[in-house]
Amino acid sequence: MSKIVRCSTCRPLCFVKPAALFFLLFIIGALFSWALDPQKDISHHIIDLWSTDNSDIPQNSVLSMVQSRDGYLWIGTYEGLARFDGLHFTVFDKSNTPEIRHNGMMVIAEGSDQALWIGTPNGLLCRRGGKFRNFTVDDGLSSDFILSLACDARGGLWIGTTQGLNRYQNGVFTVFTIADGLAQSYISALCAGHDGTMWIGTSTGLFSYRSGYFRHHELPNGKPGNTILALCVGRDDTLWIGTAGAGLVRFNAGVFHVYAQKDGLSGNDIRVIYEDSNADLWVGSDSGGLNRFERGVFSHLRRQSGLSNDSIRALVEDDEGSLWIGTYGGGLNRLKDDRNFFYNRRSGLPVDPTRSVMQDRDGAIWIGTIGGGLVRFRSGQFEIFGKKQGLRDLRIWSMAQAKDGAIWFGTYGGGLHRLQDGKVKVYSTRNGLANDIVRAVLAARDGTIWAGTNGGGIDVLHPDGRIINYNRRSGLSDDFIYAISQDREDTVWVGTYNGDLYRFRQGEFTAYQPRSGTSQNAIWAIYPDADGTLWLGTNSGGLIRFKNGKFRTISSRDGLYSDVAFQILEDDHGYLWMNCNKGVFRASKKELNDFIDGNIRRIHSLAYGKSEGMSGIESSGPAQPAGWKARDGKLWFPTIKGVTVVNPDYRKRNERLPPVLIEKMIVEGQTVDLTAAPVIGPGRKKLEFTFTALSFLIPEKNRFKTMLRGFDSGWSAETSQRQVSYTNLPPGLYTFRVIACNNDGKWNQKGASLRFELQPFFFQTIWFRAIAVFSVLLLVVMAFRWRFNRLQRRERELETLVKERTGELSRVNEELLKAKMLQDEMQRIAVHDLKNPLQAIMGSADLLCRQNYELPAKINLAEKIFKSSKRMLTLVNEMLEISHIETGDIKLELQAVDIVKLLEQVSEGFANLMLNKEQKLDLKIEPGCLVRGDPEWLKVIFDNLLSNAMKFSPAKTSIAIATRCLEKTVRVAIQDQGPGLTPEDKQKLFGKFQRLSARPTGGESSTGLGLSIAEQLVRRHQGRIWAESEIGQGSTFTVELPKVE
């Protein structure tokens, strides 16, 4: 009878987002999922490997796997349970999870409620909501050693142990034993059928349980096949049975059919069976590797084909269609589709490094290896030509097929070889070749064979046996030839190592130089396209287009992936494909031409590396051909690790939205429990968030954007980083959000979010702030009143003091005014009294000069008296003018003044003086300029300025006067040719009694008042005056006066 033990159930907990949301997200994502392409050869899928050598997987024996509904891949090993997000393994074991009592994770299953169940040798683990619980015999299990798990349609969990079958439902364990009709207690395999049947594999055969009854099913192959290791129910209700030693068994409609090695199965010990979303069956054997059963035919993937180990223990297809393979001791493998596949030594090549590749007219692919000879790939088989077949050297650098079908290939040191009908003929320096290193071979349409050598120039082999050599003595600039090509017009093009391009037509070479001819621009490849344009691949010189006699270069600065191109191929979609040291890349030919023609500013090139399936992305170097477009449109490229085949027609995009999860929140180094909205205590300064996007195809290309609502103003920049941190956040409610895209840029805009609260200190709370604000306001009011009272007292004191001081200042001011008036009056009297005697002295001296011609000495004395008196009179006059101006005694009689006439009048007064110094006056006058001013005082202004210019200009020079009518003013400029003004002169130029550094050139007197008078009079006329001067360049004084409209 069955034994029933009731125990408490694991209650669901909330983990960042509700479970229903994840379930809905994955249902939608499943609509866009796909399986591995069944039309592709099983060996052409990309194989990726994770082992302890290249990742943090805990152990290399992968015993069980499942992809949970939230998107993680869960992996069971002997050293713990690992959660994988495509980049990182998070390990759960005895060291970090107390509930785990044994690290051996034998089997994994996920329930309909998203609970993860793990069978171990020491109990049944349940992980729900991020929490583990371990069930043992104490909770009702029949044994702690769990061998198999299966979930039924009713939400029940079936558990196979070494001592019976158990069912867990609604928190209750039910144990089924031999007494219930089960003939064997060692339950090695379980699988739920679509009709509710539970299929049970034991060490003694197959059983089924339905409607409360067990039934035994006798297998057709007898006792050796009674041990069942694996079960799988297909979409058509076919039951597939994996046996220990008796092969694969199909059971449908009550009929058994056995598949063994004789039927194409790679091994008879079947450990795991899996049906993918295309209904193709995948079968993992214990030592025969992986089998795919499709349309009644088995195909194999084994270690020699790239699998890390032939013992397969676990299989699962993820939501993006990749197949994950758990091996026993070989780590975790993954098969995925892409545009590329790969051939290497495991596939049948003699060595991994390859140098050249081409396809002959029969469709066979010829591969030149580095050290392994020549290889022909035909009908899936590799045929190797080496020393036994007559090759002088096993390093194949170049190849071509002649019109007669012969294969010509050049070696690195063994000369040129011709292969036809299995026979090899060698051409070397012994029989006419210029050099035994042949880097390029061309089979021309006229039957000639062109061989580009490494230092010997070009050898042309004619059908009649003649060998003609072209080298530097023949006019070539270089004897190192790396590329030879023929266009549609039968013109032969040759590229040299020093970067020169040659055209051979009608027996003559024509040279072209794309650049100056440095070795950096060596021409590696020449591709003549259908339009007659030549595309040149170079060594670090970029891609060069030669069209209509003009060279144009496109480099990495313009968007090209690399400046190196060993080969150039054009696909059927208008793309140029190139290979380089960093891998394979392509660019649109239309974009390249548009860039060269100036229609766009930058090109876009797409690179293909390891993530796209190119295991050996580095090309081997220049060769001919270093790439080939096959008849089916696929592109073949040699690399240092084999041959990569690219399918340009591949159009499959990853349309599945990547699930986004927040994995951790770390506060000050401590991980926070995310089963509920976290509440963070005050004073925590650093917060870190770790998140992931569960897209496994190319996880390195997943991109993220984050935003902390309540702090960030918008989304962050796109990044591949899976962690972000914040410091010194103010207290409050926040929501952290993250969105992500997959490798093809498909964004999950919903993303994941986490709401949390950052609590404040007591002094950061609202009530504390309210009290603080009230207290501050109270203090402010009190301080204001105290200050107001104090100011009132001070105001009264100041009013009294001001009254006292004002009376004193009034008295002092009256006394000062009286003293100033007395001083001015005395100055006017003194100057007036000086003026009259000076005039009398001047008159007497003048009369003396005129009458006493017979007394020269007395006349000279009289002249000195006259000049001194005149200088004193000038000083007195100017002092009187300054006095009148400063005291405001003058009154301007403003009227319209013709500035031209006024300047002419002023100039006439200096005619004699200028004649004495042989100076000239240059008038550049614009007629019709009227200013508003007092004509008499205006004459004083320009009299002083012209006098100043005449005094400081040397003899026999010119003084220029220019006028200019502006919109609202009239500008007058007087330019001298004096010594110019120093910076010190400019600062004191318009001051009274200022002596400048320069002196008058004719001994004239200078009072130091003229410029001051002019400046004050200009200001009284509402104008402005300024000087411009450089040392040794003279000075220009400019006056600007209001214009009469």
Q: Give the integer Cα–Cα distance in Å for 611 and 615.
A: 8
- At position 592, the amino acid (one-letter code) is L
444 touches 486 (CB < 8 A): yes
- Secondary-structure percent of the chain, ordered helix, strand, coil, rounded to 5: 20, 40, 40
Q: What would the pLDDT profile of 953-981 be if each residue is shown by its tens digit? A: 888 889 999 999 988 899 999 999 888 88
pLDDT for the residue 807: 77
* Most confidently predicted of 43-52, 408-417, 600-609, 928-937: 408-417
Q: What would the pLDDT profile of 28-49 be if each residue is shown by its tens digit? A: 443 444 678 888 888 888 889 9
pLDDT for the residue 748: 96
The stretch 199-220 carries a mean pLDDT of: 91
Query: Quick check: 520 pLDDT over 80?
Result: no
828 touches 880 (CB < 8 A): yes
For residue 511, the cross-strand partners are 502
- Give the residue with greater pLDDT, 773 vs 7: 773
The stretch 869-884 carries a mean pLDDT of: 58
- Give the residue with greater pLDDT, 454 vs 339: 454
pLDDT for the residue 944: 87
Q: What is the DSSP string of 384-412?
A: EE-GGGT-S-SBEEEEEE-TTSPEEEEEB
In this predicted structure, which of 204-208, 704-708, 890-894, 937-941 has the lowest mean pLDDT? Answer: 890-894
Q: How far is CA 52 from CA 205, 825, 1022, in A?
A: 37, 113, 94
pLDDT for the residue 868: 55
The stretch 45-63 carries a mean pLDDT of: 94
Q: What would the pLDDT profile of 379-390 be if each residue is shown by its tens digit? A: 889 999 999 999
Query: Quick check: 152 pLDDT over 90?
Result: yes
- At position 244, the amino acid (one-letter code) is A
pLDDT for the residue 516: 43
pLDDT for the residue 233: 96
Q: What percent of the chain has pLDDT over 90?
A: 59
Q: Give the integer Cα–Cα distance in Å for 528 and 511.
A: 17
Q: What would the pLDDT profile of 833-855 be if each residue is shown by its tens digit? A: 455 555 656 665 666 656 554 55
- Residue for token pair 């009143």: 785
pLDDT for the residue 547: 94
- At position 422, the amino acid (one-letter code) is G
pLDDT for the residue 1012: 82
504 touches 492 (CB < 8 A): yes
pLDDT for the residue 825: 52
Average pLDDT, the chain: 86
Q: With 0-12 CB in 10 A as exposed, 13-18 as middle and 19+ as buried, what is 974?
A: buried
- Residue for token pair 């009878």: 1
pLDDT band at 906 (very low <50, low <70, confident <90, very high): confident
CA 45 to chain centre: 31
Q: What would the pLDDT profile of 1002-1038 be if each residue is shown by its tens digit? A: 767 666 677 888 888 898 888 999 999 888 888 999 9
Q: With 0-12 CB in 10 A as exposed, 13-18 as middle and 19+ as buried, what is 1014?
A: buried
Query: Quick check: 291 pLDDT over 80?
Result: yes
Q: What would the pLDDT profile of 229-241 be if each residue is shown by its tens digit? A: 999 999 999 999 9
Query: Quick check: 255 pLDDT over 80?
Result: yes
Q: What would the pLDDT profile of 399-417 be if each residue is shown by its tens digit? A: 999 999 999 999 999 999 9
pLDDT for the residue 1021: 87
Question: 10 Å Cβ neighbour count for 790?
Answer: 10
Q: Give the integer Cα–Cα distance in Å for 1016 and 1027.
A: 15
pLDDT band at 347 (very low <50, low <70, confident <90, very high): confident
- At position 421, the amino acid (one-letter code) is D
Query: Quick check: 496 pLDDT over 50?
Result: yes
Q: What percent of the chain has pLDDT over 70?
A: 86
pLDDT for the residue 22: 39
The stretch 241-262 carries a mean pLDDT of: 93
The stretch 649-663 carries a mean pLDDT of: 88
Question: In the 8-state DSSP scheme, what is residue 71?
Answer: S
The answer, as to whether pTM is greater than 0.75, is no
In this predicted structure, which of 483-497, 667-681, 957-971, 980-994 has the lowest mean pLDDT? Answer: 980-994
Residues in the chain: 1045
